[in-house]
Chain A
Amino acid sequence: MSKKLIALLLAVLMILSVSACSSTQKTESSAESSKEEVSKNSEAAGDETAVGFDYYKDYPKDISGEIEFYQQKPEIEEYMYGVIDEFMELYPNITVTQNVQNDAASNLQTRAAAGDFTDVWLYWPTDMVWNAFYDEGYLMDVSDQPYLAYASESVLELFARDGKYYGVPEANNAAGIIANVAMFEENGIALPEDWDSFIAACDAFVEKGITPIGLTLKDGADCARNILLGDYVPGEEIKAVSAGDKKLSETDFPKSVDDLTKIYSYANDKAISSDYNTGLTDFANEESAMFLSGNWTFASIRGINPDIKIEQFPLPSSAGRGYICSGVDVGYTIGANTKYPEACNAFVNFLVSQPQAEKYCNLDAAIPAIKDVVVEDTTAKRMVDKVAKGESFNWPNHFFPAGGAEQLANQASTQFYMDIVELGEEQAKKNYIAQMDGIMDGSIK
């Protein structure tokens, strides 16, 4: 008991010192590249952690093994190398190799088909791929691991199957509107609170000749669709639709399409030829006042334009629940067939420990899924509050039928946008709803 108390005290101390450290750094080095900031952060944290946190837990120090850390967030590759180095200093007999893959899902699938899985896997649960691996017994049951206690229960539940846990979360994401605060202030427009003020703000920008919303419809990864769909149609209902018990058009989905149409009408002219990368760059270069995306873009946006002032707020809807879209951003799962389960568990224990989680959440302005993590960044404060109040839903695309449904739905969004231009709003909506119905019941493949 007392040991825990001391640990907690030390942790609090450490949080204070780290946050103080990082805040002074920010003012100092706003012009410097984010890369340097990361390395500085990790150095600072590294010095503290040696005393601040018991990274060993119930694991002996002399565990050995060679494990692969498999992850698909290339934007944190370098950061992760720093983390791994720290870990290997603590456990000199464990070697961790990082494997960053672009098409992680299909790459892992290929390996699994050939009977080979990875050791520690950075992924998000509830997604179809994760479920498929779970179904086939590729994921390790970690229910008895001490590190589960670090995670906040509600998020941890996402990793539960049949009362057992198959992974542990580190951080959550949140998707909504990212606003260029300076552009709002310069034009005397207040940040919207609800649907009406949101539309009013869009109109005001149009009047000033400014593109209100930047959308990235080329690669179809359409945040707007997901957010609105999830806001109007709860996950359980989408699951029912996927199971074939219901049609999507019988839910509130058509209402979300109305809102979607409205949002599309405020989009940039180039929305259709803009993919995620180009859209983000353009928003960072102030080509639109708002951008629809998640907290994972903050670092990239600031990397492109260090002077930009951004704030994220929930995307309102005209008649929805007013919830926000938030799912697991980073979670760790261990392969059931790993040769070195002890080493894997020690590594995951290290990754989701409070100091490491705090370091990560502050890097990405992520919403912590680990207890006692303090995030300095207030960019997404309104999102964090919503999540805290329980007014959030998991990514609806995670409940789509297995297989290519999500890909097809993305293409349908692109098609919808093109149809609005060519066939007019009413016909386009009809086509889109019919298309989505077909995708969900599997008649369109």
Chain B
Amino acid sequence: MARSLSKKEGHKLNSWKIVPYCVVIPCMLIYLIFFYFNVGQGVAYSFTSWNGISAEKTFIGLQNYTDAFNSNYLQMTMKFTVIFAVIVLVLTNVLGLFLAVLLDKKIRGVNFFRGMYFFPAVMSTLTIAYIFNQIDYRLITLLGEWLGNGTLSAGLFSSPVWAPYLVALTQVWQSFPVTMVIFLAGLQGVPEDILESARIDGASNMQMFWKIKMPMIIPSLMINLVNNTKTGITAFDIVMGTTAGGPGGATYSFAMYMYIKYSKQEVGYACAIAMIMAIIFGVVATIQIIYMRSKEVEL
């Protein structure tokens, strides 16, 4: 059928070319203003001794950066961030996947458990932190007295050795439900007929999990990895509510460290810490993105 392009159709074809720009460019502008512009501002402040109140921002060059690198607290912050991020990333995903596999089974009461496990996710992090703080102070100390264990009886959030781990575990307690639900969704999406035919071929449960289910939940895994990495490196409320950075700085997360500096009129210094943080995570991010790009076919 010979059809010449009518004026209207030509317009339509053009719109396929133009509309994407009309959507993407304004979004980029918004993001430019709210994100990149502020990153730039932060860089500028980080070279000053600005106290956050004064109209004057004195340029002091790299002073803030050298101060930060000479400070014990930056090392402590990095150490805590690594411990916290690794525990949150690994444990949340392992626990989430494990429970998702259990709840994927057709057993009685499964809906009840699915509902119950989600509760920590709807609570605010701050609330959870306060509650665990009380559990530590009222119960762990009691347990310590009963066992005659000095570390326990002083409370684990007050132990420079244990506090980072305990803060991380508290975060895991809150984070695992969402992770679990996303895994569960992935598992539920595995077509029944594939599993059935594998079963007929004599595949064991383990084999079915690793060979069939696992590859099919890679997208869920990706979502969870991204989400939990974000949780891991931006910890703030969880620290604020449990230890507020203590004891002696053992649980300084980057955000906590910054906030303390910020609220003590060392805004320039806080911005320098932010930039150090941005550079470290920027490198990690680049590696991750390159890796994810290579996996993209599966996404």
Residues in chain A within 8 A of chain B (CB atoms): 103, 105-106, 109-110, 112-113, 128-129, 132-133, 135-136, 138, 218-220, 269-270, 272-274, 278, 402-404, 406-407, 411-412, 414-415, 418, 421, 444-445
Contact = CB atoms under 8 A, between A and B. Distances in A.
Nearest to A107: B263
Contact of B71 (A113, A220, A278, A444): A444
Contacts of B259: 106
Interface residues of B, number: 39
A402 B265 contact: yes
A264 to B, nearest CB: 13
Given A138-B53, A270-B141, A272-B154, A411 B248 contact: yes
Contacts of A411: 245-249
Contact of A273 (B154, B245, B262): B154
A404 to B, nearest CB: 4
Nearest to B158: A273
Given A218-B157, A273-B155, A444-B71, 14 more contacts: A103-B263, A106-B259, A109-B263, A113-B267, A132-B265, A133-B53, A138-B53, A218-B246, A218-B247, A269-B141, A269-B153, A407-B264, A414-B246, A445-B71
A413 B249 CA distance: 12
A418 B53 contact: no
Contacts of A110: 52
A418 B265 contact: no
B53 to A, nearest CB: 5
B53 A220 contact: no
Contacts of A106: 259, 262-263
A135 B269 contact: no
B283 to A, nearest CB: 25
Contact of A219 (B141, B153, B246): B246
Contact of A272 (B51, B71, B247): B247
B54 interface: yes
Nearest to B67: A445
Contacts of A415: 247-248
**Which 10 A-B pairs have CB atoms at the shortest separation, nearest pair first?**
A273-B155, A106-B263, A273-B158, A415-B248, A404-B264, A272-B158, A109-B52, A403-B266, A112-B53, A445-B71
Given A109-B52, A444-B72, A272 B155 contact: yes
A418 B52 contact: no
B52 A270 contact: no
A219 B240 CA distance: 11
A218 B67 contact: no
B137 A219 contact: no
B263 A132 contact: no
Output the residue of B145, B259, B260 with the most chain A CB within 10 A.
B260
A163 B67 CA distance: 37
26 contacts: A106-B262, A109-B52, A109-B263, A109-B265, A112-B52, A112-B53, A113-B53, A128-B265, A132-B53, A132-B54, A132-B265, A133-B53, A269-B145, A269-B153, A270-B137, A272-B247, A273-B155, A273-B158, A274-B137, A403-B51, A404-B264, A407-B260, A411-B249, A414-B247, A445-B70, A445-B269
Contacts of B136: 273
Contacts, number: 95
A269 B145 CA distance: 10
Output the residue of A110, A132, A411, A444 with the most chain B CB within 10 A.
A411
B55 interface: yes
Contacts of B269: 403, 445
A402 B269 CA distance: 13
Interface string B138-159: 0001000100001001110110
A210 to B, nearest CB: 16
B110 to A, nearest CB: 40
A273 B51 contact: no
B144 to A, nearest CB: 9
A138 B53 CA distance: 9
Output the residue of A138, A402, A403 with the most chain B CB within 10 A.
A403
A406 B266 CA distance: 12
Contacts of A138: 53
Output the residue of B70, B153, B158 with the most chain A CB within 10 A.
B158
Nearest to B54: A136
A418 B264 contact: no
A219 to B, nearest CB: 6
A407 B158 CA distance: 17
Interface in B203-222: none
Interface string B264-283: 11110100000000000000
Contacts of B54: 132, 135-136
A278 B246 contact: no
Contacts of A270: 137, 141, 153-155
A414 B153 CA distance: 16
Interface in B50-105: 51-55, 67-68, 70-73
Output the residue of A128, A269, A402 with the most chain B CB within 10 A.
A269
A278 B136 CA distance: 12
A414 B246 CA distance: 8
Contacts of B73: 445
A222 to B, nearest CB: 12
A132 B51 contact: yes
B160 interface: yes
A220 B246 CA distance: 9
Contacts of B266: 403-404
Nearest to A270: B141
Given A269-B153, A445-B269, A403 B264 contact: yes
Output the residue of B53, B145, B153 with the most chain A CB within 10 A.
B53
